[in-house]
Chains A and B, each alone.
Chain A
């Protein structure tokens, strides 16, 4: 079956703009997690959605938001972009958020803020 897909793969924005990233999970998976990956901080958890509800949220400012649709597809939005938001944004899907279910990552969206 098809893997996790993320669009777009690359994005260049300027400071102050906003951006929306999309993630389509593996068919049948209802849990989607978002992560920010930078060389300095590594993989940091943003938030997780399960059955359209935000279940967990990491320590990121309110400029970072997300949502999940009834078909389990998820979007994350970053408003008022800052240079420090430049990163690889990864989403991962699993059947449900539990240690018994493997998490599959997408290839990521590389966001560059200038």
Chain B
């Protein structure tokens, strides 16, 4: 079955670089894109970026200058790196799989990981 699992440090200092890993199973990264979504505590969801099945990436312009998403297909892992962390980057970070029906070009999120909580504080 399809599974995604995020991992990474829970506590970061301001100005540090965050590195998160999303390990997937039940599908291939060369068949489905994977995106990252952030949720501040008690608040809504913000799409951060996606790495597509072909390896291309798209980022939310709000974080694009600080964000990089990459992958290792042999290990079924997707990586998020975000520099210059600030307290407002605190929240739960989810990775999620993209999918689409055969008759549509547009991709929604069909499976989500359980999320990893990241706190940015001095």
Q: Do A and B bind each other?
A: no
A residues contacting B by CB (< 8 A) are none
B residues contacting A by CB (< 8 A) are none
